[in-house]
Structure 1
Amino acid sequence: MRSFKVKSTTESGLLVAITVIMALMAVYLPIVGIAATLLWPLPIIVLIVRHGMQYGVLSVAAAAIIMTILISPMSAVHMVAAFGPPSLALGYGFYKGLSAARILLYGIVASLVGVFLTAGLTMLITGINPLAMAEQVESMKEAAGAAFQMYESLGMSASELEQTKKQFMEAMEYVTLLLPVVFLLSGMITAWLNFAVGGKVLRRLGHHVTTLPEFDDWHLPKAILYIFGFSLVGLYWGSTREIEILQQVSLNAYVLSTLAGFIQGTAVISSFARNLISRWLFWLIVLFVFLNGAISQILAVCGLFDMLFDYRKRFRRS
């Protein structure tokens, strides 16, 4: 028992040191720091799986104290508040041996909690609400005004300048409207990345952890297709009857369901193209399709209908 405690304490200290080093990288290394920031929960996840939740909670607290001393209190607060909850949630899911879907769900919810917790602490400390996009959008519009004046002095025609202004203002409005789905996607990316990398690390350490099925076999819930239909009706009603809240909710639902349809459509194509082209060429084509608005929409619609009809199952039977 004593040797186990010594081993647990030693590993805890080592993994806390790794979290602090990753925090230092996030602050002082611009490019590598992005990866270090997103993967900051990883050592805590490993620690929880190997030694239990109590060690994970204590390690998060210890990392916060050390980061406060070595970096700054604000940086420590932001890092721990944003990534502490998903660290504990994902670690708990792996520790309890939950299904991959439940672990990801816990991680996404915890990531969203981290976003709002960070915003609340920032507002409490500085008085600035980072979630209030109206002020940021207004400052961006003011900065853009100076840029438009420069374009005008360079000889841009009045019609071209007016068109550019209109497109910019519409883009700013969309940024404000799509704020909820941006937060949701950021939480999904954080949870999925740490789930995927954490699962590989834990398996290398000899732990049996649940994994997602192969990408070719991904089947997203049918409910997403109905959400897509609701979003189309909501966008129509919201615009024709000038119901702003309905329009915003529908727009976010449309973007989220379309992205889900694109993922499912890509899984369908991946299944059919598995033995036809190399994987790097396949993903290069997917990137091109994603950047092409019209083709990506077609693939997204195909993916949405696959949730209902399951093309892969039908073709395998035939």
Structure 2
Amino acid sequence: MGAHESALIQMNFNRSTESYFPGEHVSGEIVFQNKHDRLKVEEIFIEIVGELAYKTTESRSSTDLNGNSSTEYYNDYHHIPFFTNRLPLARPDGLQDKIILSSGTYTWPFDFSLPENLPPSSSPNVDAYPHIKYHTQIVLDRPRFKMNVKRTYPLSISRRMNHFLMDDLQKMISFTNQNRKQLRLHGYLLHSWIVSGQSLSFRMNLHNPERTEIKNVEAAFIQHRKTALDHNAEVIFSINLPGLNEFNELYFQRDFDLPVPSINLTPTHTFSTLHYGYSYNFNVNYELLLKVKSHGIFTNFEVSIPVVVVAEAILEGQQQNKGFGETDAPPSYEASYR
């Protein structure tokens, strides 16, 4: 009865957007078409759930009769609920212990508020582990030994504002590294933070005293999601920087503006929760990874630059992305990781 009956339940939201901000109202209507002459239900409710999910990998070794050993790897998936809110829609009156639904169509309005402190849903890859997900579940709670009627809908939570100090967002991030042939790459981000759909801008300088022939320089923008036991690195975009294919000049300097896709990117943030006395931490951060590939042995090298992704293009007290002029002295590469 469960799968068939769930298809007869619909959850209609009062607005078309798929994403909500913490603190917002979520409202709509539940529609249930009952094809039974007499359906007994103990309670009808909506449950809103937020989960932190991560995976762990374990190995199992075995030896066959011939003495050959083998190892197999298994993934275990863990789901830690950090938010649960149950909203009753219908209960028996004082004269009955069950709700009796005759054949027909039933509707129940719903309205609930989201807490202000909810972390955002993970994106763009919503299914990759680790992640944070939300869903609403409609439940027709039936008597004992009867299968409940359920249907689940995903719910997306966005962050309205990043919890960064303005001073932190205005710090310039510099970078530097070199290989054994003294090929040195250094530069800095031209903006302190980025928003989805805008450009990731940076100045890059190359000093090539031995005129090493550079194959290319690849720039990759990567999202990292981390828990204590799980890590996912997702490449948002990757490109070979123009003007550096088979490059062997002494110097190179250019400002690059790499367009960030107009997709929903989870902002940089940290989230912690407790579950049965255990602490669980979840971090989302980004990096611009520059990979210098040159001819020769052990000459390739790379540099990682932390990038802050914020939730909105306009922050309080700031009308545009803070840029830096040529006279500004950037902080050290090491300081940007403190």
* TM-score band, normalised by shorter chain: under 0.3
What is the TM-score of this pair, normalised by structure 1? 0.21
What is the TM-score of this pair, normalised by structure 2? 0.20
Structure number with bigger Rg: 2
More helix, by proportion:
1
More strand, by proportion:
2
